[in-house]
Structure 1
Amino acid sequence: MPSKQVFESKDGATYTTSTGAPVGVPYAAQRVGFQGPLLLQDFHHIDLLAHFDRERIPERVVHAKGAGAHGYFEVTHDISDLTCAQLFSKVGNKARATVRFSTVGGESGSADTARDPRGFAIKLRTEEGNLDWVFNNTPVFFIRDPAKFPHFIHTQKRDPQTHLKDADMFWDYLSQNPESIHQVMILFSDRGTPDGYHHMHGYSGHTFKFVNKDGNFHYVQVHLIKDGGAKTFDNETAGKLAGDNPDYGIQSLFEDIESGNPPSWTVSVQTMTPEQAEKFRYNVLDLTKVWPHKEFPLRPVGKLVLNENPQNYFAEIEQAAFSPSHTVPGIEPSADPVLQSRLFSYPDTHRHRLGTNYNQLPVNAPIAPVANFQRDGSMAFNNQGARPNYQSSILPLAYKEKPYNVIKHETWLGAANADLSYITELDFEQPRALWQKVFNNTDREHLVHNVAVHIKGVRSAEVRDRQLSVFAAVDQDIADRIAQAIGVSTVKPLQVKPAAEAVRFKAYATDQA
């Protein structure tokens, strides 16, 4: 082909190959003569096709559909008595933040307004390394036993044969695991269909430990309360938007930030001493339970603000990799078994999805200097130069101890996690309070309607009645109203063991490491 003039873009960039060589005709391919065969020597064309064939990375197994933005977290209240993390050492400290919101069960092309929990993942870049808060928009979850998680997700996705969403799978699993009822009731209220991604609250769900400079710790749960209040859709509005604008959440977040209306959240913590945990009515390691605010009030910590849209979604949001194992000194995981499982699972999937050096990608790279013995592997952007990749006496690294001596570890006095599937009346107390005391009449009507719309698609009468019996164990009125709405007979409550038989958290603080 004859050579053409090289065109430049408005920002001054010149079109090139991946090696930087300028190309005059991006849509052309080299041929033998005017209509002859293509030439293998045309690196630009081969470069284009080869990259095109590889430009999709594995989709997240869960949380595939999402939106994100950047901003900052600012400390507004002193909590140095709780944690020695440097970020919280002084009021006014700031950290650059990247946040990714997401649905859980849907694929990357699914609707933003689907009835589903929402992910609320936050990466804070601190001087001591990245601190990731990988939260949800609900304070509880469906399970408290990590062995159940893969099976649970399978039932919320597609049937292996039909490749369709299946109401029988969905309710069969939930009805066999009644500890899920607290989250189910939140999901099938209007809270299950938030108005976009940035009009919802965020919760750690899990119990963490904040450790101060003396090595003493508090159990902590983190809350992000949306400034101006959370907003939700009813079932029909969410369904209509799913068809009219399935990307409503991504669009509304982007446009609000672009128009100078940045969303913000007030960040607070609930705290509990180990001694309080021993006396607490519920197991503090149980992801299906909340801590009553009357007993454990919110203590303000800071402010999260999102004021910057990504310039490139793939690079800055799709490649973002969050994990609850990304912590800093002064913040530790508790023995919550689901949290412990996530500590492994999240980095494992990042290595599969993005590569072993996922933390070297610009969106994930810490602002703190990195020095260790990890080298090589795919995409080693920062391979640490000539520094030895072992504990060298010739060019030794400095080693900084944690600011506290020894964390006072939990010592297990009882089988706190011996049988996580053990269902007792304790599992129904909080859902019952949600129905009887928190929900108003409109909330109750919408819950019944939303469940009825979904559960009427169940083909198995056994599965349907089993789930109705779980609702009846919360409050007979719920089951009766759902049964009436779908035109079936009412059922009796699921029989469960009394609260006194619950296996509760039994641990105490000891100086023994």
Structure 2
Amino acid sequence: MSKCPYHQTTTAGSPIADNQNSLSVDSRGPLLLQDWQLIEKLAHQNRERIPERTVHAKGWGAFGTFKLTKDLSEYTRAKIFNGVGKETKMLARFSTVAGEMGAADAERDVRGFSLKFYTEEGNWDLVGNNTPVFFIRDPLKFPDFIHTQKRHPRTNLRSPTAMWDFWSQSPESLHQVTILMSDRGLPTDVRHMNGYGSHTYSFWNENGERFWVKFHFKTQQGHRHWTNPEGQQKVGESRETTQEDLYYSIENGDYPKWTVQVQIMPELDAEKTSYNPFDLTKVWPHADYPPIEIGVLELNHNPENYFAQIEQAAFSPSNAVPGIGFSPDKVLQARVFSYADAHRYRLGTHYENIPVNRPICPVHHYHKDGQMNIQEHFPNPDAYYEPNSFGGPTQNPDVKEPPLKLNSNIVDRFNHREDEGNNDYIQVTGLFNLFDDGEKSRLFSNIADAMQGVPKEIIERQLVHFSRINPDYETGVRKALHASGHSSYQQQDGHITEQTDGHSE
């Protein structure tokens, strides 16, 4: 073994003579408080862990590139989308939603699909999932939903009752629940699944024209999924199946790729659709807004240090660049605040000073002091406020975003479940009708498995929703509950008193 050319030091740079033995009165002890080397090591160990993410705690990631194959300057002035052949370095982090950091990878759950693009105009983050929709459409319900996915305060166990109680009283969740309980709810790994921006974002071009946009990332590796028994077997073999798959595929040069597509809607079309195009529980039919292939995403470099580059990676939709904007999507509006706020709590006020979060372009702002402020270079110490007379950075009107055109100026707490445009059953019916017999059978079985221990009155409430999607949906789940031996359905005799093109490959 070759000898390391560097000598060990303390964090202040002092050389260390002995890293094997504590300073003590004699060989038996006691120790001395003046052993600053021991104190430093123990104090740092006590602080090695930072708060894990409230959701998406268990994650896997890698670096790569996005290569543009279609110029989008007609729709956006964002430089990342201008110039065929342009390559942009990026970082991806995938995750499960509900599990803690120590959870097993092969669990039925939604997968996070978050991307950070290091563009010449600043970092652009796209925070999405492996599904095109989500469980809620109003962010006021997000904390409640997440509570149902976490541990019961008394038992400290995950609660199927809490999950189905919430879902059965929130019919807007039906679209996501059906996807979660289908084959695609348990992908074998992240290479063999799609990604989606999920939310509706906007493009705006040099002429001040706005377009609504949805982002899709279609796996080039094909789709692979486990059944519940297969997933349980994999957990018994390894709790890190996804981490192993992603890390070693990249190490072996088998770089995962996704075809990047966008759906683009003219701004005024949002007033004409039969559905709310800003509703996170809905997809845009592909027949109306065909996906446009614009590039390829490739992951080709593993992190050198997982904690520094993946655990400390901070993604937020508030990281936007000129030419990319937001929409009236209520959940997106809330996430613009909540994601960045979570990072300030978890990582520190100036979390974007951490190298993995640092933009590649120059950064000029007037934020002062606070945690993680490691700025060493102050071009002009007199220019620490704005406006100033000392040559400090100033605003740039050239990147002003065009105003959003909204129809109403009435402010109220609108009941989203009474809005006719928010029908919670139509698109799920299309999805259910696209499943073949085998897919439907596994869907019914997965739901029955997930309902074990749930009170009958909650199940019956959920079955009413299934019947409104398709009577066969309710019938199939009832039979699966009977076959699974659910205590509330053991005496039942099994008698019961097209996926929309927005999901197509």
Using the size of structure 1 for normalisation, the TM-score is: 0.91
Once the two structures are TM-superposed, the CA of residue 342 in structure 1 deviates from its matched residue by 0.3
Residue 333, structure 1, aligned to residue 326, structure 2: yes
Once the two structures are TM-superposed, the CA of residue 65 in structure 1 deviates from its matched residue by 0.2
Whether the 8 Å contact between 2:119 and 2:360 is mirrored in structure 1 is yes
Q: How many percent identity over aligned positions?
A: 44
Task: Name the counterpart of 1:36.
Answer: 29
Task: Name the counterpart of 1:23.
Answer: 16
Residue 107, structure 1, aligned to residue 100, structure 2: yes
Task: Name the counterpart of 1:510.
Answer: none
Give the counterpart letter for 1:330 in structure 2: G
Once the two structures are TM-superposed, the CA of residue 421 in structure 1 deviates from its matched residue by 2.8
Task: Name the counterpart of 2:407.
Answer: 411
C-alpha distance in 1 between matches for 2:5 and 2:253: 28
Task: Name the counterpart of 1:151.
Answer: 144
C-alpha distance in 2 between matches for 1:217 and 1:491: 53
Once the two structures are TM-superposed, the CA of residue 255 in structure 1 deviates from its matched residue by 0.4
Task: Name the counterpart of 1:267.
Answer: 260
Choose which of 418, 443, 456 in structure 2 pairs with 1:461: 456
C-alpha distance in 1 between matches for 2:48 and 2:312: 12
Choose which of 202, 205, 221 in structure 1 pairs with 2:214: 221
Whether the 8 Å contact between 1:83 and 1:211 is mirrored in structure 2 is yes
Using the size of structure 2 for normalisation, the TM-score is: 0.92
Choose which of 196, 203, 209 in structure 2 pairs with 1:203: 196
Give the counterpart letter for 2:178 in structure 1: M
What secondary structure does 2:348 align onto?
coil
Closer, same or farther: CA 404–17 of 1 in aligned 2, 3 Å: closer
Once the two structures are TM-superposed, the CA of residue 10 in structure 1 deviates from its matched residue by 5.4
What do the CA deviations read for 1:258-314 (whole angstroms, capped 9, x no partner)?
001010111110011122211111101110000111111111121111100011100
Whether the 8 Å contact between 2:478 and 2:496 is mirrored in structure 1 is no
Choose which of 425, 428, 434 in structure 2 pairs with 1:431: 428
For 1:302-321, what aligned pairs fall within 5 Å after superposition? 302-321=295-314
What do the CA deviations read for 1:191-241 (whole angstroms, capped 9, x no partner)?
110111222111111100100001101100000111132221112111211
What do the CA deviations read for 1:74-112 (whole angstroms, capped 9, x no partner)?
111111111001111211222111111000001111111
C-alpha distance in 2 between matches for 1:277 and 1:11: 63
Once the two structures are TM-superposed, the CA of residue 415 in structure 1 deviates from its matched residue by 8.3
Closer, same or farther: CA 106–9 of 1 in aligned 2, 3 Å: farther
What do the CA deviations read for 1:101-129 (whole angstroms, capped 9, x no partner)?
00000111111111110001100001100
Task: Name the counterpart of 1:500.
Answer: none
For 1:247-396, what aligned pairs fall within 5 Å after superposition? 247-382=240-375, 384-385=377-378, 386-387=380-381, 388-391=383-386, 392-396=388-392
Residue 479, structure 1, aligned to residue 474, structure 2: yes
Does 26-35 or 478-487 show the bigger shift? 26-35
Task: Name the counterpart of 2:438.
Answer: 442
Task: Name the counterpart of 1:511.
Answer: none
Task: Name the counterpart of 1:14.
Answer: 7
For 1:66-77, what aligned pairs fall within 5 Å after superposition? 66-77=59-70
C-alpha distance in 1 between matches for 2:46 and 2:342: 22
Give the counterpart letter for 1:427 in structure 2: D
Residue 420, structure 1, aligned to residue 420, structure 2: no
Residue 401, structure 1, aligned to residue 405, structure 2: no
Give the counterpart letter for 2:392 in structure 1: P
For 1:484-503, what aligned pairs fall within 5 Å after superposition? 484-487=479-482, 488=489
Does 470-479 or 317-326 show the bigger shift? 470-479
Give the counterpart letter for 2:446 in structure 1: N
Superposition RMSD in Å: 2.0
Residue 178, structure 1, aligned to residue 171, structure 2: yes
Whether the 8 Å contact between 2:61 and 2:92 is mirrored in structure 1 is yes
Once the two structures are TM-superposed, the CA of residue 384 in structure 1 deviates from its matched residue by 4.4
Task: Name the counterpart of 1:134.
Answer: 127
Structure 2 spans left out of the alignment, 5+ residues: 483-488, 498-505
C-alpha distance in 1 between matches for 2:77 and 2:306: 34
C-alpha distance in 2 between matches for 1:57 and 1:9: 35
Task: Name the counterpart of 1:4.
Answer: none
Aligned residues: 484
Does 468-477 or 133-142 show the bigger shift? 468-477
What do the CA deviations read for 1:118-173 (whole angstroms, capped 9, x no partner)?
00110000110000010100000000011000000001111111111111111000
Closer, same or farther: CA 81–22 of 1 in aligned 2, 3 Å: same
C-alpha distance in 2 between matches for 1:364 and 1:126: 12
C-alpha distance in 2 between matches for 1:448 and 1:342: 33
What secondary structure does 1:130 align onto?
strand
C-alpha distance in 2 between matches for 1:186 and 1:9: 54
C-alpha distance in 1 between matches for 2:213 and 2:354: 31
Closer, same or farther: CA 365–189 of 1 in aligned 2, 3 Å: same
Give the counterpart letter for 2:190 in structure 1: Y
Task: Name the counterpart of 2:500.
Answer: none
Once the two structures are TM-superposed, the CA of residue 354 in structure 1 deviates from its matched residue by 0.2
Closer, same or farther: CA 165–220 of 1 in aligned 2, 3 Å: same
Residue 49, structure 1, aligned to residue 42, structure 2: yes
Give the counterpart letter for 1:178 in structure 2: P
What do the CA deviations read for 1:348-372 (whole angstroms, capped 9, x no partner)?
1101100001000000000111111
Whether the 8 Å contact between 2:323 and 2:401 is mirrored in structure 1 is no
Whether the 8 Å contact between 1:190 and 1:443 is mirrored in structure 2 is yes
Residue 451, structure 1, aligned to residue 452, structure 2: no
What secondary structure does 2:166 align onto?
helix
Whether the 8 Å contact between 1:113 and 1:238 is mirrored in structure 2 is yes
Closer, same or farther: CA 220–328 of 1 in aligned 2, 3 Å: same
Closer, same or farther: CA 175–17 of 1 in aligned 2, 3 Å: same
